[in-house]
Structure 1
Amino acid sequence: MDAREGKPKQSWTYKEVNYILEKDDGVEQSGAAPPRLMVLTSDKGWPYSWKEDEFTRECYVNCEVDRVWQIVSSDLTKWFSNFDLSLNPPPMPRVLIGTPGIGKSMAAGSYLLYQLLHYDIKKLQVVVHCFGETAYVFDKTAQTVTQYEGAITSKSAVRSFWQRGMKGYIIYDVAKKGTPTAKYFAPASGWGMIVVSSPKVSNYDKWEKQLKARRIIMNCPDEMDVKAMSTWMKQGVTTDKQAKYWEMVKKHMYFVGPILRYIFDEESFNERSGAVKFALNSINELTVKEYFSRGGELPWYSEDPSHKLVKIVREIYADSEMFFNAPICVYLREETFEIFLRLTEYNSFLKLLLASKDIIFPIFFEYFALKSFMESAFVKAMSTKLTELEPPTGRQAKPCVLKLNLELHPKGYEDLVPSEYEKKKRKIKYGVLYKPWVTNFPLVDASFFMESNPMTLVGLQMTTAGAHHTKASTVKQFDERLEAYFEDLEELSREMSWEIIYVQHTDSKPITGWQRCDVVDADNVSEDEKEIMAFWNGKVHQYQFLLTPDFVWKMREMTIQ
């Protein structure tokens, strides 16, 4: 990853579906790839830093930030294409909503300002950037910027430009204290406006409803966006120092999420970590519903802008942009999940799961499946619905070990944090469900050991695909990962039997055949690969289970009885 000066040859491209603009990854012109990140620098700093008493020269623009401008630009284009602007309403009012701390103000607000200041002066003469009751008014015709304090004074300044026939656009950033904008802050005609806010509904809901504003939901930056920012920040230092800095940032992001405000230095990270621990300790049986329930078929709107455990993600709902909550990072997802398992009775869990008629939300699917394997009633009912997948060798069918020994199902739960954070290997415990925290753990999503003869490793794989074949290298990687976690596993694994249960959502294409273990190069198979494939076809047993709403309803009835 390197930095280059100037404008990129190819920028991001977008497509419009049902009036919603989304990035189009399928379009690349002349073979040139779009940038991962653009950085705009200002010797005088950006207005956000003026308010925060911090001098910030860089404005980081990823595709999410650029998407905001593309939507606003499209609104302006449609408006200015009208023959007589005086007879038409102003550009579509907008509300920009995103997770606190990801750069809505610093990046999206600054980038909007930059683009609006460079917009055709014949069409747009004034740009106003507000932070609560402080307003910076940019007069493009006079090339001046004036600061105003107080909502009344700022509104009066805007009116004076409107009365002189000048057209403008207002960026209204709701302050940290939450200063909702007045309904008539912008003139009734000739001016556009966007409100930038956290998910706190009271910051914008009245203005949004009164002006019939449409939303723009900004997702968090992804890992590669953050890596590009880290690369830019450490220009000119050695490769080793760049790598060391990125590892620090990556670790911070793992524990608190991609919140730019807190991941680039230790002091900010430690501050956030303390707040996160407090938030975790504050979860109780009532707040569990807030984190895992979407309130039926409608999104849940957080009235708390300082949620430390969740982020908002953009989804399309009824042809408009909506936001839903999701765990902000893998670490907090697993920590919250563990609390969720501990606090929620199984019957209450089933009630939450079925909150939306016949829908099993994908966000609940993994939680339900894993928690259910610790419930005797579920294991007993599921064992009668398991379908064994016949191996190609034609060896004799074998009932799942859970069906033969129902009482040996998992009754506890332990996390498998990334091995680099493990202080020492752990002893194998029977009847404990081990759940890796990393999302790319090889082969299975969770596993447990059963004290049978021989000892059995049961792997659980949640999948929606009609096939879930694997490779010898993946099986080897899985084996190595487990050996890094558990004592004496290398010796025990020689006689161990494996069973894999493919748990599928009701909307999945059912798995019906044996899931193969292949090699990358069939013409050059190593001895290790031959041994792994022989083990897979000789000692691994596979089963499929389809989780349907009817099955969940039956479980609910059983727990009520």
Structure 2
Amino acid sequence: MTAATEQSEQTNGNADVQAKWSYSDSLENALPPGCGNPETVLLRNFLRTYLPGEALSYADSQVTMTTFMREPARYVSDERLLGKILGLEQYRITQLWRDVRALRARNVVTFGDWNMVASATRRAVSDATQALLDEALRCVSRSRPAAPVSVEHCKLADERSRYRSVYNASWSFVESGHASAPMGMIVVDTECVGEPPRMWEEREVDVTPFPGEVDAVVPGTDDGLELLVLISEWGWPSHLFRERKCDAIVRREVVRAWNILKRGIDNRRANGGTSPRRLYSLLGTPGTGKTAAVAPFFLHQLLHCSADTIGAVLYVVCDSGYVFFNLGSRAGTVKEFHYVCDALAVVNVLADEGVQGCAIYDRCEPESMTNLPIGTWEVIVFNAPDEKIFYKIEEQTVVNYILFNGYNRRELMALHAWDQHKRGSGFLPILCSSNWSVIESQAETVGPVPRYLRDEIPYNNECLSIRECIRCFPDDQRDFLINTLLCRVKRLPRVHVYCLLKIVRVKHGAGEHFVMGPCSSAVEIELRRVLLKDCYYLGRLMRRMVWCPETCVKLFEMFGVCILLHRDVSELIVRKLVPLPRACGCPCDDAARRRTRLRKFPEKYRVISCGVHDKPNATQMSVKTDVLYIPDLLSFPLFSAFYFTRGPSANSTAAGCKRKRGRNVKKSGPLVLVGVLATPRKVGGTPACAVVQFTERMAECFDDWNVVRGGLRWVVVYFQHHSSAAMVNRQACVVSEGAMSEEDCENVRLLWDEAEQQQVQLDEEIIDVLLVHC
């Protein structure tokens, strides 16, 4: 006999009592006596009452019954004990009470509400609860005729449910600092509504990186809070209240944007409402959470403002509008409008009545931007930087831009932890990979953009768009590729955002501004390969390297080694090379190194393919001498370029080969690896880990690397920009404590001590010769 049958029989057995119920009675009347509110009853107390003496195997002593019911096996690992708990009659009753309280959160309170409930809401509770309530409802129907329910009443109930779903959205969060958990992060479900149980301080969120620190690794926080998750049971208006889109990921950038808006609202209230209403525009890379996170969080926070400060909120999405009422006879409801003009008419009426409010425009067409309620309410526009949109809003008033950065690596990792939590709890199906290394690798291709990483189909489409965009890029717009690599694409907002770009907020003097650069390492590689293979644009690069003071240093770091490809320039550079002595100035050491003095740089070059995020290279090659190998990855370890050559043999001298028996004897000398580092600034010590990473990359690129590396001699050439100070001594190899084994450290030290180091600076004489080729 099933639980549902038992419940039906119990209900039929109590028909005399149930016949006294009406459609206005609470659903809780149909339930057997409970064991307390499952949202507040702790699992440990439940077991002490109904299974005394049983030992518990879960770590968190504050787990509630509601949380336990979502993932029982997570909190009780003992299968025997878990089976006893699930078989308890009191546990079954507690499940029924949990379901009925979940219905209450959806504004389904009475038998009349259950009679009109939508199928999606029915599926939110268990089959046993459905059977019990349906049978109770049939008894109510037999006892009294159902009162007719008007369409207006049903609509009003739905409006209240949507409002309460947003207003009573619950909080969860992702926390780091758990070494035993995957990626060191866990998800904590709090069931807390209203204000979040934890929140970052303003100093933690109001952080703007310098241009060179945009992709730097972000350390964890002291308290371990990585992400907040805001969950609305009915979903959000940004996705038209679809239940499958019910979670909003709140990260530091989202809170920072809210703080900016809140300051404006608070200032107006402090000035007695006399301050002008502002128009805000949120700018950021498409797909990083403006619609999916910022809009829901803003709406939730606005609804929790006092009614005299925010009496109503207009939410416009695409061509529809919603008005959330915080004040008046319709307080606690949300009205949907199929035309934006109808919603704006309501806003104007409210404004005439003195109601203060805020309007949110999300993914709107340019036509919807022609009649913003500017001067009436605060207005926030969410949209990708689109030239048409900005012309429309800038024509109407002064725009206050909120600059919004995308995900960093830790936030992406925390998002993945949340997705895996949903996958394990059956919250909803996840279409992305369960392997973090796969997600991280995909981010190296399309960038850290959740829109493409959480679903395989958008990811594949974005990869195709990136390839097509680079392959079909017009030759007359190659300057755009150069500016992209330099993060100097035309300043926002009047610019179209290509799939190649990401947009970041960086420090600019005492303030901040946006820069746009490659969205990922893979895009950076492809752009660099395109430019390195274009002889005409290499010439343009050389000219910009000399004549453009704003970008010459960055260009020198990126493409300075290409100067060596011009024969007369490279010959001049060879003559200007200066050996770097050891600090002790040992003369015999200097004399030994003069035997490998460089005589020329290669005139041929080859761009070698580098994998990103540990991806193997597509092809391997054999080591060839007198070919300058230029990596397509800017962050290639140790060197900007390198080549192999033959050093003088043991029988040769600085004066040349000796004559023996009437003829010249030339013996092939040892193989020499010459690494060139183009650097615009003073070089510090070389990290030992960079040497190890370089050798690992070489093994990926060259199939015979392990054969030739044993007899290699190393020469390091520091090619310095004229703005940097000349070196005086050899650069040391720096070993970070604990980063490598002692054996690896010793091997790297020996290799570095035997390597010759030379330097040359890009001076005026070299520049004059270079300009002949530009």
TM-score normalised by the chain length of structure 1? 0.84
Determine which of 494, 499, 509 is the counterpart of 2:715: 499
Letter in 2 for 1:554: D
Cα distance in 1 for partners of 2:303, 2:630 equals 55
Q: Does the alignment pair 1:322 with 2:513?
A: yes
Contact 1:254–1:330 (CA<8 Å) still a contact in 2? yes
Determine which of 396, 404, 410 is the counterpart of 1:218: 404
339-348 vs 191-200, greater mean Cα deviation? 339-348
Q: 1:129 to 1:81 in 2, by over 3 A?
A: same
SS of match in other structure, 1:274? helix
Q: Does the alignment pair 1:435 with 2:631?
A: yes
Q: Does the alignment pair 1:136 with 2:351?
A: no
Q: Does the alignment pair 1:290 with 2:484?
A: no
Cα distance in 2 for partners of 1:510, 1:270 equals 48
Determine which of 244, 255, 260 is the counterpart of 1:71: 260
Measured after TM superposition, the shift of residue 229 of structure 1 is 0.7
Measured after TM superposition, the shift of residue 510 of structure 1 is 5.0
Determine the structure 2 residue equivalent to 1:529.
Answer: 745
Measured after TM superposition, the shift of residue 74 of structure 1 is 1.6
Letter in 2 for 1:59: A
496-505 vs 226-235, greater mean Cα deviation? 496-505
Cα distance in 2 for partners of 1:334, 1:326 equals 12
Determine which of 549, 557, 560 is the counterpart of 2:771: 557
Determine the structure 1 residue equivalent to 2:187.
Answer: 3
Cα distance in 1 for partners of 2:228, 2:694 equals 38
SS of match in other structure, 1:512? coil
Determine the structure 2 residue equivalent to 1:415.
Answer: 609
SS of match in other structure, 1:124? coil
Measured after TM superposition, the shift of residue 409 of structure 1 is 4.5
Measured after TM superposition, the shift of residue 233 of structure 1 is 0.6
Q: Does the alignment pair 1:43 with 2:233?
A: yes
Contact 1:415–1:436 (CA<8 Å) still a contact in 2? yes
Cα distance in 1 for partners of 2:552, 2:381 equals 31
Q: Give runs of aligned pairs for residues 327-342 of structure 1, distance below 5 A.
A: 327-342=518-533
SS of match in other structure, 2:321? strand
269-278 vs 289-298, greater mean Cα deviation? 289-298
Q: Higher RCO, 1 or 2 (CA under 8 Å, sep at least 6)?
A: 1
Contact 1:69–1:112 (CA<8 Å) still a contact in 2? yes
Determine the structure 1 residue equivalent to 2:111.
Answer: none
Structure 1: runs of 5 or more not aligned: 26-30
Cα distance in 2 for partners of 1:400, 1:230 equals 55
Q: Point out 4+ residue stretches in structure 1 off by more than 6 angstroms.
A: 294-298, 399-402
Cα distance in 1 for partners of 2:382, 2:766 equals 41
Q: Does the alignment pair 1:89 with 2:276?
A: yes
Determine the structure 1 residue equivalent to 2:542.
Answer: 350
Q: Does the alignment pair 1:185 with 2:185?
A: no
Cα distance in 2 for partners of 1:21, 1:532 equals 38
User: Alpha-carbon deviations, 1:165-224, whole Å to 9, x = none?
Assistant: 01111111243x555612x511424x2112112122221134235411121221221122
Letter in 1 for 2:237: P
Cα distance in 1 for partners of 2:224, 2:773 equals 54
Q: Give runs of aligned pairs for residues 19-418 of structure 1, distance below 5 A.
A: 22=208, 32-33=222-223, 35-50=225-240, 55-82=244-271, 84-85=272-273, 87-90=274-277, 92-141=278-327, 142-175=331-364, 178-179=366-367, 181-182=369-370, 184-189=371-376, 191-208=377-394, 210-235=396-421, 244-293=434-483, 299-301=490-492, 305=496, 307-317=498-508, 321-343=512-534, 344-353=536-545, 357-360=548-551, 363-392=554-583, 394=586, 395-396=589-590, 398=593, 404-406=599-601, 408-418=602-612
Cα distance in 2 for partners of 1:246, 1:525 equals 27
Cα distance in 2 for partners of 1:35, 1:518 equals 34
Contact 1:379–1:402 (CA<8 Å) still a contact in 2? no
Determine the structure 2 residue equivalent to 1:449.
Answer: 644
496-505 vs 38-47, greater mean Cα deviation? 496-505
SS of match in other structure, 1:448? strand
Q: 1:369 to 1:105 in 2, by over 3 A?
A: same
User: Alpha-carbon deviations, 1:357-415, whole Å to 9, x = none?
Assistant: 42235553433224334343543444355443223463116579795123x25522111
Letter in 2 for 1:261: R
User: Alpha-carbon deviations, 1:243-273, whole Å to 9, x = none?
Assistant: 9521221121111111211112322211211
Structure 2: runs of 5 or more not aligned: 1-184, 191-195, 214-220, 425-429, 648-668
Q: 1:324 to 1:491 in 2, by over 3 A?
A: same
User: Alpha-carbon deviations, 1:330-374, whole Å to 9, x = none?
Assistant: 11101111012223433322344467x422355534332243343
Contact 1:155–1:186 (CA<8 Å) still a contact in 2? yes
User: Alpha-carbon deviations, 1:216-239, whole Å to 9, x = none?
Assistant: 22122112211111111111778x
Cα distance in 2 for partners of 1:313, 1:287 equals 23
Determine the structure 2 residue equivalent to 1:28.
Answer: none
Cα distance in 1 for partners of 2:375, 2:611 equals 56
SS of match in other structure, 1:165? coil
Cα distance in 2 for partners of 1:297, 1:424 equals 33
Determine the structure 1 residue equivalent to 2:146.
Answer: none
Letter in 1 for 2:676: L
User: Alpha-carbon deviations, 1:127-180, whole Å to 9, x = none?
Assistant: 1121243221111121111122334323222111111101111111243x5556
Contact 2:226–2:251 (CA<8 Å) still a contact in 1? yes
User: Alpha-carbon deviations, 1:83-110, whole Å to 9, x = none?
Assistant: x32x4312x3211111111211111122
Q: Does the alignment pair 1:461 with 2:677?
A: yes
SS of match in other structure, 1:14? helix
Cα distance in 2 for partners of 1:172, 1:273 equals 29
Letter in 2 for 1:494: G
Cα distance in 1 for partners of 2:577, 2:248 equals 54
Letter in 1 for 2:609: D
Q: 1:375 to 1:556 in 2, by over 3 A?
A: closer
Letter in 2 for 1:324: V
Measured after TM superposition, the shift of residue 468 of structure 1 is 2.6
Cα distance in 2 for partners of 1:445, 1:346 equals 16
Total equivalences in the alignment: 537
Cα distance in 2 for partners of 1:179, 1:556 equals 53
User: Alpha-carbon deviations, 1:277-302, whole Å to 9, x = none?
Assistant: 11121123222212323899894458
SS of match in other structure, 1:421? coil
Contact 1:389–1:514 (CA<8 Å) still a contact in 2? yes
SS of match in other structure, 2:421? coil
Contact 1:257–1:329 (CA<8 Å) still a contact in 2? yes
Cα distance in 2 for partners of 1:425, 1:160 equals 71
Determine the structure 1 residue equivalent to 2:758.
Answer: 543
Contact 1:100–1:305 (CA<8 Å) still a contact in 2? no
Measured after TM superposition, the shift of residue 275 of structure 1 is 1.3
Measured after TM superposition, the shift of residue 326 of structure 1 is 0.5
